[in-house]
A and B are shown apart, each in its own frame.
Chain A
Amino acid sequence: MHKGYLCLVLHTHLPFVRHPEHDDFLEEDWLYEAITETYIPLLGVFEKLAEDGVDFRVTVSLTPSLISMLSDQLLQERYLKHINRLIELAHKEIERTAWQPQFQHLAIMYLNHFCKARQTFEKYNRNLVAGFKNLQDAGKIEIITCGATHGYFPLMDVCRDSIKAQVRVAASHYENVFGRRPRGIWLPECGYYPGHDEILKETGIKFFFSDAHGVLHGTPRPKYGTFAPVYCKGTGVACFARDLESSKQVWSSIEGYPGDYNYREFYRDIGFDLEYDYIKPYIHPDGVRINTGIKYYRITGTGDHKEPYNPEWAKARAAEHAGNFMFNRQKQVEYLHDFLHKKPIIVSPYDAELYGHWWYEGPMWLDFLIRKIAFDQKEIRMITPSEYLAENPRNQVITPSMSSWGWKGYSEMWLQGSTDWIYRHLHSASERMTELAKSFPDTNGLHRRALNQALRELLLAQSSDWAFIMGTGTHTSYAVRRTKDHLLRFTRLYEDIKSNSLDEAWLSDIEYKDNIFPNIDYRVHQ
């Protein structure tokens, strides 16, 4: 009989980046890389598990902006072009490394990997969301939603109408895609501020996640710490707290698995390593070197010297690490079970892009872990939050504390010297959007299109990713530009709507560029 639960959560998100006005746009590669290295490998793992009859549960948050990109025809075509180019490059690499068997077998591995990616992509008619939906319909994964464009809610508290819009747009988008309302939400950046659960409740959302201190510092004290969900006072929306012990094993730079010397080195990519004229067709058209995804080395050690990657060694380590993770969860659950006299739930959320993109062996580790849990032990049962709540409906009521999983646990990642200037504009735009929604309770034609587009622009400006990138201090110009572009478009729409001087050609142009959420209704913003 099991003694506790493990709730694995993969937060899957990229900001909406789509530039039909350019043939090739560097930042779109974020999506293409994640498709090849994370989304397809994860789908592959889950499908194979289901096919092999392994019983498992994983919670996956697919953000509305990511779903929108994965379902977008233009980006799908571009991904196909991208993967075809990679396949071509892999062929060339096999030839080029003919006298270096230690690299040639890796080139072959990449070729297989890319071909498999293309095959999977085509199997789902280019829309990977279908793959995730199948798994949800089969009861293996629970897909939850997120803020429509991943706005960071604690810094939107002064304009809650925008939080409402983020949640409402996300919920109806989810419903369109998956055929039912979302039960849970991943609050962007795990950012919770007391009272925001009211907005979740109103949208029919039953649970969300917070970082450990969100619950541990809640009032009154949580009797079971982070090992049972709590209901928010006043709303009854459940809050599941992240378990830091299991998180650290994967995330940590010090104890974490991904730093193992046998694992693949992320920073040695042939896009940077190989001779310029040879690699030029596969890097950015402007000639700037970028990652291609073909990487031949393992981490090796602390120095700059790197040894060739050995997939067999890496696989063995992934199996070992999966065993270690499971062993530690077994011990944790046994201890907590005796200590609490209750079955604890261990909530382990990760950025999905950690798996495969950053930690190449991550999907393989996940596969080993899930199989081991299914066959090699009895203490832990994998569970989704919905199932947990159905089985354990009685939980303590508290008010969780403001928190996020960002740097230093609160809002500083998004509110610091390089980013604080954005909030006066974002908040003003939000106030104006509410004003518009209230002054035009019912409208149609061009006016309605403009109002809907205004909300799209506002939501796009609110993506926490822009402030995040500005906060990291490197390569910030795109993030600054996106923030400004959307705000400027919003401002112009606001002014044109108010003065009744809409320019249809311009409106059509920005509708074409920022085409997210085709069914949006501006009236949700109030």
Chain B
Amino acid sequence: MAALRRIKDKIKKVIEKKKKIKVAKASSAKIKKKSIIKQIIKKEPLRKEQEILGQEEVAVEKTKFSHPEIPRPSLRIMSHDLPWGYGKDKIVLQVRDPRWLHAYWEVTNNTWDRFKRDLQGKFNGAKMTLRVYDVTNIVFNGANANSFFDIELSYGANNWYIDTNGPGRFWCVDLGLKLPNGEFITIVRSNTVCTPLEGPSWITDEEWMIPEEMFGRLYGLGFGLGQTSPLGKAWQERVKKLLFSGALASPGMASMASPVKKVPKERKFWLVVDCELIVYGATEPDAKVTVQNREIKLRPDGTFTLRFALPNGEQVIPVKAVSSDELEERTITPIVTRETKTASLLKEAVQKSE
């Protein structure tokens, strides 16, 4: 049956689980904020193709929270963690984007026991399954779905991302048991959700009629793709490709943080050196002291400390103290010269061993 084959194909496509996402995430964690600024200053129009809707907003919003993590052993003491469940049989369906849904569920032990009891021997061969119904334009009664497909769940799963491949449609999901003979037994039914359209609606408004060509142009303009546009469908395809799905088959931030293609790995070794100079001394607490002809403030005990960033070259630093009765004067002048030499070396052996 064609329908069955389609369902099977879908099941193949559907499987995207936490593990996969975690891999994507692990690699994204490495991306330092520096990479954001690097993107910003890269001025390569060719990269335009890689832009994803919302990524700049993410990059900027991220800088609002730009702090390193501080180890905090006990911020506030919590004696317990969040519960595993809330004691209810429940499945909740949410829309992630025009194609993907997310479902999470909870089944209580009592319910499991009941199924075990009722199904007896058949229970062990049963597979936990999600049955995804297309319920567009109908009042769903459990048996009248436009179509459905099944997803066999891995053991212990309590949530799943579902690829419906069906923008602009209504969906409802049953969590259930699929018996070896193919029979499906519903444990709990979800809420109904509607995926958004992936492109413009086909429905036009009589009162607010707009010619196809004109809308095509407005559509491109609305996405900031300029005025000199081919019309109609071409734009829609481009928008879909560029902004929404594009090459981004998997979720995770990796693609957000690096629209710029990775350059082959360079060695990241680096060294920064700078110099500062501390000039310090002491005199009578009531004396008047100038350093490079600028008056400075003494500490109550007559000591002083000055700190300077020291550039290359010679610094002549006359320190003059005048007694409070202005009868005595002392000057001491340190002269400091800074010179900086640099050398770098990349050993052949190191290069080869990598």
A interface residues (Cβ-Cβ under 8 A, vs B): 14, 21, 26-27, 29-30, 34, 92, 95-100, 103, 154-155, 157-158, 193-194, 211-213, 215-227, 241, 243-248, 251-254, 256, 258-259, 261, 265-267, 275, 278, 284, 286, 288-291, 299, 301-302, 304, 335-336, 339, 351, 353-354, 357-358, 396-398, 401-413, 415-418, 420-421, 423-425, 427-428, 465, 468-469, 471-475, 477-478, 481, 484-485, 487-488, 491
Q: Which residue of B lies closest to A411 (CB)?
A: B96
Specify which chain A residues have a CB less than 8 angstroms from the CB of B58 in the assembled complex: 406-407, 413, 472
* A430, chain B: closest CB distance, angstroms: 11
Whether B185 sits at the interface, judged by CB under 8 Å, is no
B85 to chain A, nearest CB (A): 8
Q: Contact partner of B67 among A26, A266, A411, CB < 8 A?
A: A26
CB distance from A119 to the nearest CB of B (A): 24
Q: Is B89 an interface residue when CB atoms closer than 8 A count as contact?
A: no
The reply to whether A221 and B201 contact each other, CB–CB distance below 8 Å, is yes
Contacts A213-B53, A424-B106 aside, 7 further interface pairs with beta carbons under 8 A come to A99-B310, A213-B243, A246-B224, A253-B40, A402-B95, A403-B196, A407-B253
Query: Is B57 touching A473 in the complex (CB atoms < 8 A)?
Result: no
Q: How far is the CA of A405 from the CA of B315 in the complex (A)?
A: 55
CB B155 to nearest CB in A, in angstroms, measures: 18
Chain B residues positioned under 8 Å from A415 (CB to CB): 94, 96, 102
Contact B37 A224 (CB under 8 A): no
Please list 12 pairs of residues, one from A and one from B, whose beta carbons are closer than 8 Å in the complex, sorted by A's number: A99-B309, A216-B219, A217-B197, A220-B205, A253-B36, A259-B37, A357-B63, A402-B196, A410-B98, A471-B253, A472-B65, A477-B69
Chain A min CB distance to B80 (Å): 7
A100 touching B37, Cβ below 8 Å: no
Chain B residue contacts of A96, Cβ below 8 A: 276, 307-309
> What are the 4 A-B residue pairs with the smallest beta carbon separation, nearest first?
A417-B21, A225-B218, A244-B224, A245-B224
Contact at B94–A217, with CB atoms within 8 Å?
A: no
Hey, which chain B residues are within 8 Å of A484, CB to CB?
78, 81-82
- Are B68 and A254 neighbours in the complex by a CB distance under 8 Å? no
Contacts of A413 in B (CB 8 A): 54, 58
**Cβ–Cβ contact B224 & A220, under 8 A:** no
Q: How far is the CB of B241 from chain A (nearest CB, A)?
A: 13
Of A98, A217, A469, A485, most buried by chain B (CB within 10 Å of CB) is: A217
Q: Which residues on the B side are within 8 Å of A335 (C-beta)? A: 227
Q: How far is the CA of A289 from the CA of B66 in the complex (A)?
A: 12
B33 engages A267 (CB within 8 Å): yes
Contacts A158-B191, A221-B205; A253 near B259 (Cβ below 8 A)? yes
Q: What is the CA–CA distance of A477 and B67 in the complex, to the nearest angstrom?
A: 12
Considering the chains assembled together, what is the distance between the CA atoms of A475 and B215 in angstroms? 44
- Inter-chain contacts of A478 with B (CB < 8 A): 69
Q: Is the CB of A485 within 8 A of B223?
A: no
Contacts A220-B204, A420-B102 given; indicate if A103 touches B252 (C-beta within 8 A): no
Q: Per-residue CB proximity of B260-293 to A under 8 Å, as 1/0?
A: 0000000000100010100000000000000010
> Is the pair A408, B191 in contact by a Cβ cutoff of 8 Å?
no
Report the stretch among B23-31, B119-127, B136-144 that lies at the interface.
B23-31
Out of A98, A299, A404, name the residue touching B37 (CB < 8 Å): A299
Chain B residues with Cβ below 8 Å from A336 are 221
User: In the complex, A55→B201 CA distance in Å?
Assistant: 40
Residues from chain B with a CB closer than 8 A to the CB of A158 are 92, 94, 191
* In the complex, chain B residues whose CB is within 8 Å of the CB of A26: 67, 70
Considering only residues 298-354 of chain B, those with a C-beta below 8 Å from chain A are 306-311, 315
B contact residues around A471 at 8 Å (CB): 253
Q: Is the CB of A259 within 8 A of B41?
A: yes
The residues of B that contact A487 with a CB separation of less than 8 Å are 82
CA distance A409 to B21 in the complex (A): 19
Q: Contacts A221-B210, A403-B196, A423-B94 given; indicate if A216 touches B308 (C-beta within 8 A).
A: no
**B214 smallest CB distance to A (angstroms):** 8
Contact string, B32-63, partner A, CB cutoff 8 A, digits 1/0? 01101111111111011001111111111111
Alpha-carbon gap, A243 to B98, bound state (A) = 21
For B39, the chain A residues whose CB sits under 8 A away are 253-254
State A416–B97 Cα separation when bound (angstroms). 11
Q: Which B-chain residue is minimally distant from A29 (CB atoms)?
A: B67
Do A216 and B63 touch (CB < 8 A)?
A: no
Chain B, residue nearest A290 (CB): B67
Q: Is there contact, CB below 8 Å, between B308 and A98?
A: yes
Closest CB of chain A to B174's CB: distance in Å? Answer: 16
Residue from the set A29, A95, A278 with the largest chain B CB neighbour count within 10 Å: A95
Shortest B249–chain A CB gap in Å is 12
A420–B59 CA distance with the chains assembled, in angstroms:
21
Among A243, A251, A406, A410, chain B packs the most CB atoms within 10 A around the CB of A410
Chain A contacts for B209, CB-based, 8 A: 223
Q: Is B203 an interface residue when CB atoms closer than 8 A count as contact?
A: yes
Chain B residues positioned under 8 Å from A155 (CB to CB): 94
Q: For residue B278, which residue of chain A has the nearest CB?
A: A278
Contacts of A286 in B (CB 8 A): 70-71
Given the complex, which residues of A lie within 8 Å of B47, measured CB to CB?
Answer: 254
Contact of A97 among B81, B215, B244, B309 (CB under 8 A): B309
Closest to A304 in B: B270
* Contact string against A for B residues 230-244, beta-carbon threshold 8 Å, 1 for contact and 0 otherwise: 000000000000011
Complex: A376 Cα to B193 Cα, angstroms: 50
Q: How many angstroms between the C-alpha atoms of A314 and B171 in the bound complex? A: 53
Task: Evaluate contact between B208 and A396: CB separation under 8 angstroms.
Answer: yes
Cβ 8 A contact of B60, one of A212, A216, A353, A491 = A353
Instruction: Specify the chain B residue showing the minimal Cβ separation from A414.
Output: B96
Which residue on B lies nearest to A257, using beta carbons?
B40
A275 CA to B310 CA in the complex, in Å? Answer: 13
Q: A98-B308, A475-B68, A481-B75 are in contact. Are A409 and B60 (CB under 8 A)?
A: no
Contact B40 A259 (CB under 8 A): yes
Interface string of B170-206 (1 = CB under 8 A from A): 0000000000000000000001011111111101110
Q: Which residues in A have their C-beta under 8 angstroms from that of B67?
A: 26-27, 29-30, 290-291, 475
Chain A: which residue is nearest B64 at the CB level? A353
Given B44, B104, B196, B218, which contacts A401 in the complex, CB threshold below 8 Å?
B196
Are B68 and A290 within 8 A (Cβ)? yes
CB-defined contacts of B52 to chain A, threshold 8 Å: 407-408
Instruction: Determine whether the beta carbon of B96 is less than 8 Å from that of A221.
Output: no
Please report the C-alpha to C-alpha distance between residue A223 and residue B204 in the assembled complex, in whole angstroms: 9
Closest beta carbon of chain A to B42's beta carbon, Å: 6
Answer whether residue B6 sits at the interface, using C-beta atoms and an 8 A cutoff: no
Q: Is B162 an interface residue (CB 8 A)?
A: no
Which of the residues B42, B97, B98, B159 comes within 8 Å of A253, measured between beta carbons?
B42
